[in-house]
Amino acid sequence: MRVLVIGSGAREHALVHALQADDSVSYIICAPGNAGISAEVDVLPVDASNPDEVAELAVRVQADLVVIGPEVPLVAGAADAVRERGIPCFGPSKEAAQLEGSKTFAKQIMAEANVSTARAFVCTTVDEVAKALDELGEPYVVKDDGLAAGKGVIVTSDRHQALEHADNCFAKGAASVLVEEYLDGPEVSLFGITDGVTIVALQPAQDFKRVHDGDEGPNTGGMGAYSPLPWAPAGLVEEVTASVLQPMVDAMRLRGTPFAGLLYAGLALTSKGVRIIEFNARFGDPETQVVLARLKSPLGQVLLAAATGKVAELPPLQWREGAAVTVVVASKNYPDSPVTGDIISGLEEANALLDVDVLHAGTRISDDGDVVSAGGRVLSVTAVGETLAQARERAYAGVDLISLAGSHHRRDIAQHAAE
């Protein structure tokens, strides 16, 4: 099977690695990829936000399966365009991707599916936001309704800051802003692979969204992750599959917009039970790096089953013993205005460490042939080990061998869980 992977992050690098381990995958091509991916498989340029370009590329490379990593092409309709050319595609339709593309739409479907989430007010003016803030009280949660790469949300006790964030969202063109009830408790990312009828959950992971140690500072796309979650209640995955994932898949099918691809549930384990923070329509980044590091089943087969309506026929997924940890190395000033174009060194040394995999995100090869930074999140240094503590030690040993001027990373990824 020939597989085309769309995207350029560490998530796509992890997807490529997992596909390489599947014997049924004979050829992998990634577009547009990054410096790390291009060192291992063929890459081609593509404007991933242009559905026709993605579909034409799939035809040109004779793909048997297209796997779309990021949300932007999905929300733009890339999966529909690929399927229109008769090529199986892992990723939801444009309409189904609205589960991620519009928080208001997601709330509607959750109501139809009887899935518990935070109470929310949909506001179209700053005055409405102010009223909603006073109604719900602090801590205030204010969200851009549309896509914002993990940076559209603010959680704060400062009313002025909350209003300012809403103002900024409107200024950037948001049609509406959500003010939400604050959900307390640890967060879990749970992924389900679905063909629109049946959904199979992967192992849960935890992401670290804030930029600084101790969960300080602004939200980012994600600064690190680990799996498994030793502290999670037994039966959590089964419970959430039955009470959240399957009802969402059923609700989407019943309204005539079946969701096939990866359904990502962002959960908060509150004192009142499991509540949904958000849904995404694709693999999470950086959680995918740790989840796939633990998956033993052949990924290409699993994704093809989802793309062709055969999830019910899949054998139960197999998982490796042990744990995985990933630490994101971000460029100077990420998440505000990342500085790029700096040389990264120590990559080979880090990658040579036992059970360490240096996954690339924002990297490119410069005209001089150096690997340089090209985005906010630059690398996702991933390690496996017998325990979380061992995986963590290995990941940080890798991070410590890498240098990139002005870069930063968190030192506390998986720390509490490992203790």
Provide the CB-side half-sphere exposure for 184 (13 A, CA): 4
Name residue, tokens 């630490």: 327
Partner from ligand AMP, ligand GLY, none contacting 219, C-beta within 5 to 8 A by type: ligand AMP
Partner from ligand GLY, ligand AMP, none contacting 153, C-beta within 5 to 8 A by type: ligand AMP
Three-state DSSP at 347 gives helix
Q: What minimum distance in Å lies between the beta carbon of 415 and ligand GLY?
A: 18
Q: What minimum distance in Å lies between the beta carbon of 11 and ligand GLY?
A: 8
Partner from ligand GLY, ligand AMP, none contacting 303, C-beta within 5 to 8 A by type: none
- 114/130 Cα distance (integer angstroms): 28
Three-state DSSP at 294 gives helix
Of 147 and 371, nearer to ligand GLY (C-beta) is 147
Examine residue 281 and tell whether it contacts ligand AMP (CB under 6 A): no
Of 89 and 268, nearer to ligand AMP (C-beta) is 268
Q: What angle do CA 341, 346, 348 make, to 5 degrees?
A: 110
Name residue, tokens 């670290």: 208
Site for ligand AMP in 174-233 (CB under 6 A): 180-183, 187, 209, 219
- 139/170 Cα distance (integer angstroms): 21
Site for ligand GLY in 209-268 (CB under 6 A): 222
Q: How many residues bind ligand GLY (CB under 6 A)?
A: 7
Q: What minimum distance in Å lies between the beta carbon of 283 and ligand GLY?
A: 7
Three-state DSSP at 92 gives coil
Neighbour tally for 150: CB within 10 Å: 18
Among 12, 80, 207, 357, binds ligand GLY (CB under 6 A): 207
- Between helix 299-307 and helix 10-20 the angle, nearest 10°, is 110
- 44/88 Cα distance (integer angstroms): 20
Among 5, 31, 43, 155, binds ligand AMP (CB under 6 A): 155
Q: Which residues are CB-contacts of 299 (< 8 A; sequence separation ≥ 6)? A: 15, 18, 19, 21, 22, 292
* Residue 153 and residue 142 in contact, taking contact as beta carbons nearer than 8 Å: yes
Examine residue 166 and tell whether it contacts ligand AMP (CB under 6 A): no
Examine residue 69 and tell whether it contacts ligand GLY (CB under 6 A): no
Of 56 and 187, nearer to ligand GLY (C-beta) is 187
The residue range among 18-26, 32-40, 132-140, 280-288 that interacts with ligand GLY, by the rule CB under 6 A, is 280-288
Give the x/- contact pattern for ligand GLY in 150-189, rule: CB under 6 A: x---------------------------------------
Site for ligand AMP in 91-120 (CB under 6 A): 118
Partner from ligand AMP, ligand GLY, none contacting 222, C-beta within 5 to 8 A by type: ligand GLY
Site for ligand GLY in 98-157 (CB under 6 A): 150
Among 280, 340, 363, 407, binds ligand GLY (CB under 6 A): 280
Instruction: Decide: residue 126, CB within 10 A, 0-12 exposed, 13-18 middle, 19+ buried.
Output: middle
- 263/192 Cα distance (integer angstroms): 5
Name residue, tokens 């990021």: 70
Classify each residue of 22-51 as buried b or exposed e, where b means 16 or more C-beta atoms within 10 Å of its C-beta: beebeebbbbbbbbbbbeebebeebebebb
Residues found near ligand GLY in the complex (CB under 6 A): 150, 207, 222, 280, 284-285, 287
Q: Which residues bind ligand AMP (CB under 6 A)?
A: 118, 141, 143, 150, 153, 155, 180-183, 187, 209, 219, 266, 277-278
